[in-house]
Amino acid sequence: MMSDMPVTEKMKERLSREFQEVLVLGRLIGFGNLMSLASRAWQAELEENGSVMADAAFVVGPCKASVVPCGCEKSKGCDWCCGTGWLTKKVKEVKKILSHRYAR
Ligand SMILES: [Zn+2]
């Protein structure tokens, strides 16, 4: 949803209803499973329809316990985390090494 778009009461009601539906499904099949399946279904849908947006589907990453904060300013975009704000520990190490190497 665009941040500058006015949120109407009807939109709030719809989001609330959808949130509750996701909550029920997540509790039933597991939230990680739900996100993984949604990502795969979205990608399959785009590919099946031959969409020019075939690479637009979100990918689901690892659980929060296995990532560390990127340290970037999300609002400015980031080539390391693609704006997610999270990196694997190994990628964070590489980022730190390269930023020291090229900071000179
Ligand atoms: Zn980042």
Nearest to 71 by CA among 60, 84, 58, 59: 84
pLDDT score recorded for residue 104: 57
State the distance from the centre of ligand 1 to the C-alpha of 88, rounded, in angstroms: 11
State the distance from the centre of ligand 1 to the C-alpha of 65, rounded, in angstroms: 17
Using alpha carbons only, how large is the chain's radius of gyration in Å? Answer: 18
pLDDT score recorded for residue 33: 92
State the distance from the centre of ligand 1 to the C-alpha of 77, rounded, in angstroms: 7
Strands (E) across the chain are located at 67-69, 86-88
State the distance from the centre of ligand 1 to the C-alpha of 28, rounded, in angstroms: 33
- The 10s digit of each residue's pLDDT in 29-80 is 999 999 999 999 998 998 888 877 877 888 888 888 999 999 998 667 899 9
The domains of the chain are located at: 1-60, 61-104
Cβ–Cβ under 8 Å, residues 67 and 61: yes
- Torsional class of 53: left (φ above 0), alpha (ψ -120 to 50), beta (otherwise): alpha
State the distance from the centre of ligand 1 to the C-alpha of 38, rounded, in angstroms: 24
| 92 pLDDT above the threshold of 80 | yes
pTM of the model: 0.62
pLDDT score recorded for residue 1: 44
Helices (H) and strands (E) in the chain, counts: 3, 2
Question: What gap in Å lies between CA 57 and CA 42, rounded to an integer?
Answer: 6
